[in-house]
Structure 1
Amino acid sequence: MKLTVVGGGSTYTPELVSGIADRHAAFEIEEIALVDPDLDRLEVVGGFARRLLDQAGHPAKLSLTADLEAGADGAAAVLLQLRVGGQRARASDETVPLECGCLGQETTGAGGLAKALRTVPVVLDVAERVRRIAGEKTWIVDFTNPVGIVTRALLDAGHRAVGLCNVAITFQRWVAGQLGVAPDRVALEHVGLNHLTWVRAVRVDGVDVLPRLLTDHADRLAEHVGLPAAVMRRLGAVPSYYLKYYYRHDAIVTEQRSRPSRAETVAGIENSLLELYRDPGLVAKPALLEQRGGAYYSEAAVQLVASILTGRGDVQVVNTRNGSTLPFLPADAVVEVPARITAAGPAPLPVAPLPPMISGLVAHVTAYESLALEAALHGGRDRVFDALMAHPLIGQIDQAETLADRLVSVNRDLLPWAAA
């Protein structure tokens, strides 16, 4: 079985390879193909990845290429982890909105829209080329942000695709650590959209312990998600840490203006990681990799690929079609919910009705995501403006006008319709 990673030169890649090496009994991988246009970077990351496989005694062949067709040929699954425009584009995603008084974040708000505009056309081109060379049955697992919008674009284009985020598995592991239980005993009722989710139940061996978490572990829980425990008790749910950008928007903007951007921090971490990866004596993941983000990324990715290729039928949190899962949303929306993973794809499990405080925000952001996808697919400054007006963190004419012009301008070289 062959697994292809598009964006294989990412500093995340050793996490994935390490996960495969540590869990090779889950399913048999004979080849891992890393695809990236930056061959110098790919050689550095790939060299370290080879050492990780060798250290673990994993027999998989590791191939490195800038040729997507060569990398995807024969692949059973293709994992997408792209960053169109690199860290330079991320920096503009975080700083341009902040200059306009809005949240500066690469996946949420105006920054997330800019990322979608750049990313969706590239991902669709990659996916179509993969389909031509590897066939209709190849699964595409998207880890590329904004995951919900990108996954919907892939599904709308007829690809066998599923979106993946590490928020759910990170919280599951945190809960397991707090309670001193094995992670596989913890199941979450995790509901919403990508980067807009709430945990409404935490079941340990089938028993909901969320009320106990909201009392006995309230302070640590508040610190973990960046929101007051009293708000969580009022909701009867634990919002993901991305909800602080909605519930504390103005305070977060003030904080962001007082410190360096996350993009600056990540760029420094990436440079340091690449230097570490160049050391031929390095045969284990460096501690610095934990600061890069994407905690438990490898576990989530390996679990999902193993289950979908073997039809294991276990339950995982993924991004997939809504269908009737959240009845107040269109059936073709993409939601992030627990689903049974079969060879035919994810089958979302039923969820309890959401209260208005949650369902209203989910519906609002879903409307924005539809308009964001339209802008990414068809271009046009006015479509960008429409998406900004629909976003609950913007929604003001003056800010949307300014941001539409700024986002198109700073991304012009990466938007074919804007450069024309």
Structure 2
Amino acid sequence: MKLTILGGGGFRVPLVYGALLTDRGEGRVTEVVLHDLDDSRLHAVARVLAEQAATVPEAPTVTATTDLDEALRGADFVFSAIRVGGLEGRADDERVALAQGVLGQETVGAGGIAYGLRTVPVAVDIARRVARLAPDAWVINFTNPAGLVTEAMSRHLGDRVIGICDSPVGLGRRIAKVLGANPREAFIDYVGLNHLGWVRGLRVAGRDELPRLLADPDLLGSFEEGKLFGTDWLQSLGAIPNEYLHYYYFNRETVRAYTEVEKTRGAFLRDQQAQFYDEMKRPDTSALTAWDRTRAEREATYMAENRETAGAGERDEDDLSGGYEKVALALMRAIARDERTTLILNVRNQGALSVLDTDAVIEVPCLVDANGAHPVAVAPLPDHATGLVCAVKGVEREVLTAAENGSRATAVKAFALHPLVDSVNVARRLVEGYTEVHPGLAYLK
């Protein structure tokens, strides 16, 4: 099978390729095509992949190209992990938002809206090209904001685009571990939108083990989310929220922490990865060693400001291994080989969550087989969660409308309606600030 990776010069591509190297089954991926707009980054990542494959017999072949149509033709799967505007754009998203006293995180709040506004037009163009050049391909979307971008692409690809995220997987794994359960044998009752969901149950052999966790403060406070949110708040919720909900539940503290840091997350990654890609220009550098070292630092500093605000301390070593590449591989295996499995994915609602319409992309457990991902019907959310999900989905829809129509007024509306942007005037200033720094938003009139 042929796998095309869009954003093939991206730093995390070796995670995907490393997962492919572990797959020895029939019908596995045998050809990988990397596509990126930056040829030097493609070359750097290709070096890392070559070192990964050096001792693996019959490793998937790797080619690289800057021609998108060439990359897509004949693809069986397309993995989309593009970053429109690069990490410089992410740093600008954070800076402009913080100047207005609101959150600039890349998927949440003002930063997520800005990122979506410049990414959706590019993602839609990709979806149209896939429909034309590789109509039988399955698109696996990891491009952020993942739920929003997946919904934009689904309008052209239907259910053949599926969004993935490692956050729910990591959360479920941590809960199962604390409860002494095997994550592979547990059903995780998770529901919401991307980066806006809650674990409401964890069933093992038909028994929900989550109440046992919520009833034990010591057990509850022993893992990442317990430390991040605090045991009292988790017990009040009666659920375990995705870590990204910390931006909502502790917004003032998080904005203050982000304002006080020497570098925002985007600026840190921009500088860190610039150093890595510069290092890759030296032929005597061990590409894999340099990549491993850079990745370890990247993962260890993930959500550092939130953990500092909560007094959560350093991340556990087990949480530094990512996981989205394993979700991607499991998804491809299930579809290509009809290896039926259950995964938490971003898919069209299809009636699974009654409060949203059929085409709304949600993040829920899905049964996956050769015909794709089928969302499992889930019980209604409590009122506080329903309100938040509906409000943020409404914002996503305004972003999609603004991207489609090029409407500046609709973009202002998207910012103003977000729960973490507290003023229409702030929304107007955000649109002004973002259009000044992002050439990709010149379409807004």
The two structures have a TM-score, normalised by structure 1, of: 0.93
Tell me the distance in 2 between the aligned counterparts of 1:20 and 1:276: 26
Q: 2:179, 2:213 within 8 Å by CA — same for their partners in 1?
A: no
1:206-234 deviation line (CA, Å, top 9, x unaligned): 43221232224221346566212111111
**Structure 1 equivalent of residue 136 of structure 2:** 137
Query: Does 2:372 align with 1:345?
Result: yes
Between 1:222-231 and 1:342-351, the stretch displaced more is 222-231
Question: Which residue does the alignment assign to 1:286?
Answer: 292
Q: Report if the CA contact (8 A) 2:140-2:164 is conserved.
A: yes
Provide the residue aligned with 2:314 in structure 1.
Answer: none
Q: Which residue of 2 aligns with 1:415?
A: 441
| Correspondence list, 1:2-401, <5 A | 2-25=2-25, 27-134=27-134, 136-159=135-158, 160-214=160-214, 215=216, 216-221=218-223, 223=225, 226-259=228-261, 260-274=263-277, 281-283=286-288, 286-293=292-299, 295-401=322-428
Partners of 2:398 and 2:102 in 1: how far apart? 19
Provide the rounded CA distance (Å) in 1 between the counterparts of 2:56 and 2:174. Answer: 26
Q: Is 1:163–1:319's contact at 8 Å kept on the other side of the alignment? A: yes
In the superposition, relative to structure 1, how do residues 395 and 282 fare at CA in structure 2: closer, same or farther (>3 Å)? Answer: closer
Query: How big is the alpha-carbon RMSD for the aligned residues of Structure 1 and Structure 2?
Result: 2.1
Give the drift of 1:369: 0.9
Provide Cα deviations, 1:216-275, integer angstroms capped at 9, x if missing partner.
422134656621211111111001111111111111111111112001221233234436
- Whether the aligned pair in 2 keeps the contact of 1:148 and 1:193 (CA below 8 Å) is yes
- More displaced, 328-337 or 224-233? 224-233
1:170 is aligned with what amino acid?
A: G
Structure-2 change in CA distance of 1:56 and 1:276 (3 Å): farther
Shift of 1:302: 0.9
So what's the TM-score if we normalise by structure 2? 0.88
Total equivalences in the alignment: 417
- What displacement does 1:281 show? 4.2
Letter in 2 for 1:138: A
Contact 1:224–1:241 (CA under 8 A) maintained in structure 2: no
Q: Distance in 2 between matches of 1:281 and 1:246?
A: 42
Q: Kindly state the Cα deviation for residue 289 of structure 1 after the two structures are TM-superposed.
A: 1.4
Return the letter of the residue paired with 1:362.
V
1:272-331, Cα deviation, whole Å (9 max, x unpaired): 443666656455761431443581121111111221222322110000111211111122
Q: Which amino acid letter does the alignment assign opposite residue 255 of structure 1?
A: A
Q: Match of 1:386, as an amino acid?
A: K
Counterpart CA distance in 2 for 1:89 and 1:106 is 10
Could you tell me whether the CA contact under 8 Å between 1:364 and 1:391 is conserved in 2?
yes
- State the identity as a percent: 35
Give how far 1:149 is off: 0.9
8 Å contact kept, 1:35–1:67: yes
Q: CA deviation at 1:126?
A: 1.7
Q: Does the C-alpha gap of structure 1 residues 222 and 6 become closer, same or farther in structure 2, counting only changes over 3 Å?
A: closer
Preserved CA contact (<8 Å) 2:226 2:234: no
The gaps in structure 2 that reach 5 residues or longer are 300-320
Q: 1:26 to 1:402 in 2, by over 3 A?
A: farther
Alignment partner of 2:170: what SS?
helix
Whole-angstrom CA distance in 2 between matches of 1:70 and 1:133: 9
State the distance in 2 between where 1:94 and 1:27 align: 43
The 1-side partners of 2:18 and 2:26 are apart by 14
Point out where structure 1 has 5 or more consecutive residues left out of the alignment. none
The farther-off stretch of 143-152 and 155-164 is 155-164
Residue-by-residue CA offset, 1:130-164 (whole Å, 9 max, x unaligned): 22222x21111110001111111111123421111
| Runs of 4 or more above 4 Å deviation | 222-225, 275-285
Contact kept? 1:219, 1:229, Cα under 8 Å = yes
| Contact 2:412 2:428 survives alignment (8 Å) | yes
Contact map agreement 2:416 2:427 (CA 8 A) in 1: yes
Describe the SS at the equivalent of 2:363: strand
SS at match of 1:63: strand
Quote the offset at 1:63 in angstroms.
0.8
* Amino acid corresponding to residue 72 of structure 1 in structure 2: L
1:175-220 deviations in whole A, cap 9, x for unaligned?
A: 3443455431233111000110000012234432212322242213
Partner of 2:433: 406
Distance in 1 between the 2:361 and 2:266 partners? 27
Looking at structure 1, the residues matched to 18 and 110 of structure 2 have their Cα atoms a distance apart, in angstroms, of: 34
Question: Is the Cα contact below 8 Å between 2:8 and 2:42 reproduced in 1?
Answer: yes
- 1:104 positional shift: 1.9
* SS of 1:192 mapped into structure 2: strand
Contact 2:199 2:240 in 1 (8 A): yes
Q: Within 2, Cα distance between the matches of 1:296 and 1:287?
A: 18
8 Å contact from structure 1 (residues 55, 283) kept in 2: no
Give the C-alpha shift of residue 29 in structure 1: 1.1
